[in-house]
Amino acid sequence: MEHIPLAKTYLDDEIRDLTLEVLDSGQWVKGPQSKAFGSEWAEWCGALAGAPTSNGSTALIAALRLLRIGPGDEVIVPSLTFISSSTCIDQVGATPIFVDVEPEYYTMCPQSVEEAITPSTKAIIAVHLFGQVVDPKIMNLGVPVIEDAAQAHGAEYNGDKVGSLGNLATFSFFPSKNLTVGGDGGALLANSKAHTGILTASTDHGRHQKGEYNFLSSNFRLSEVQCAIGRAQLKHLEKWCQRRREIAEKYSKSFHPNSIPKVRERSKHGWNQYVLKITKPKLFREYMDNCGIDTAIHYSTPTHLQPIYSQHHQSKLGTLPFTEEICKNLVAIPVFPQLTDDEVEYIISSIQAWQSDILA
């Protein structure tokens, strides 16, 4: 069996041809591809409007700008997430308020969120971690919600895709995501008419029309080449999401029940990552490496304990007990759609052998 990576990107002749076509057109930014991709991505997610962005992090900054969030404001965010879910808050001058996650689903705990709300709270960044949809109660706490759906392309709750659940939503198209664009990339979606008219402006310096700027923003645009690649990949995304679910279902039927990730009721998981709860992660990863199978830990140090937040009032160990307990024990295994059935079976048999030895 050849080495199995954690993720694999998709490239075909259509993408190669489109790339050359856009390059030959001479219109490399702010052209028809970006306009079409923003619209098509919004439609696929069930949102009102969309704008491509240079990456998922700038999409978050643009979302906060749209909500006019700045110094003196607080934004609630989980600590178990990639660092940009919180540093985007700092970059607009606001203060991140970290909350714990649910033991079963690893997404932000609704009770922790509710307890964290103060008169200064201006938004909640609801991270659909690993592709798991956040508890829908969070959408109904009277605070604007920005869905951080970087890892949740195609995830659904009650038949509605992520990206259509909150006031605003952000996505990443980094090469390891469910949809990619030939480099860094992202998108910002809006679900209220108040934001649809200025959505593109939020990624283009706050520009309303030529020479007129209505609010503070920056250049967060995505290139025409990458938008064309995104449009081509979008044709395959539904099929890819289904394949991820098929692989995840096989995994969950094969591994020890205490180790597998649970899926929220009435939802479909996006399965950007399939994470196992492992009691001896270092030994497990060494074992998997010897089997020729890549793994990863996301995220071994929770955000509130990162050095950048050493002066933050929540930076002390013990502040968010479950996040601190679980962060080192969630190990991701390959779940990308190009995995062959033989590779899936090899991954399953390898992990079953490990679990049998551990439980023996």
3-state DSSP helix/strand/coil % of the chain, to nearest 5: 40, 20, 45
In the chain, beta strands by DSSP E: 49-53, 74-78, 95-99, 121-127, 145-148, 156-157, 160-161, 168-172, 186-190, 207-209, 212-213, 267-268, 274-277, 296-297, 330-333
Mean pLDDT of the chain: 96
Instruction: Provide the 10 A C-beta neighbour count for residue 310.
Output: 9
C-alpha distances in Å from residue 358, one per residue of 94, 279, 280, 346, 352: 46, 10, 9, 19, 10
Tens of each residue's pLDDT in the chain, 360 residues: 789 999 999 999 999 999 999 999 999 999 999 999 999 999 999 999 999 999 999 999 999 999 999 999 999 999 999 999 999 999 999 999 999 999 999 999 999 999 999 999 999 999 999 999 999 999 999 999 999 999 999 999 999 999 999 999 999 999 999 999 999 999 999 999 989 888 999 999 988 777 788 888 899 999 999 999 999 999 999 999 999 999 999 999 999 999 999 999 999 999 999 999 999 999 999 999 999 999 999 999 999 999 999 988 888 889 999 999 999 999 999 999 999 999 999 999 999 999 987 764
Phi, psi of 248, deg, nearest 5 = -60, -40
- DSSP-assigned beta bridge partners for residue 204: 219
pLDDT digits (tens, 9 = 90+) for 75-92: 999 999 999 999 999 999
3-state secondary structure of 360: coil
Those residues with Cβ within 8 angstroms of residue 281's Cβ, 6 or more apart along the chain or in another chain = 297, 328, 329, 331
For the domain made up of 238-359, the CATH class stated in words is: alpha beta
Q: Is 54 helix (H, G, I), strand (E, B) or coil?
A: coil
Residues ≥6 apart with Cβ < 8 Å to 340: none
Provide φ and ψ at 249, rounded to 5°: -65, -40
Domain 13-231 sits in CATH 1.10.940.10 = no
- How far, in Å, CA of 64 to CA of 77, rounded? 13
pLDDT given at position 69: 97
Q: What is the pLDDT of residues 32-79, one digit of tens each?
A: 999 999 999 999 999 999 999 999 999 999 999 999 999 999 999 999
Containing 336, the helix (H) or strand (E) segment is none
* Structure confidence at residue 4 (pLDDT): 98
Q: Are 82 and 150 in contact (CB under 8 A)?
A: yes
> What does the angle CA 292 – CA 293 – CA 297 come to, to the nearest 5 degrees?
135
Collapsing DSSP states into helix, strand and coil, what is residue 248? helix
pLDDT, position 212: 84
Helix (H/G/I), strand (E/B), else coil: 212: strand
The predicted pLDDT at position 107 comes to 98
First to last CA, the chain: 27
Provide the CA 28 distance to its chain's centre, in angstroms: 27
Looking at residue 316, its pLDDT comes to 85
Identify the pLDDT of residue 359: 60
Helix, strand or coil, per DSSP, at residue 188:
strand
Those residues whose C-beta lies under 8 Å from the C-beta of residue 119, and which sit 6 or more positions away, are none
- What is residue 213's predicted lDDT score, i.e. its pLDDT? 87
Q: Where are the domains of the chain?
A: 13-231, 238-359
Q: At 91, is the secondary structure helix, strand, or coil?
A: helix
Nearest Cα residue to 151 out of 245, 44, 273: 273
Contact of 131 with 137, CB cutoff 8 Å: no
pLDDT at 262: 97
User: DSSP secondary structure string, 136-158?
Assistant: GGGGGSSS-EEEE-TT-TT-EET
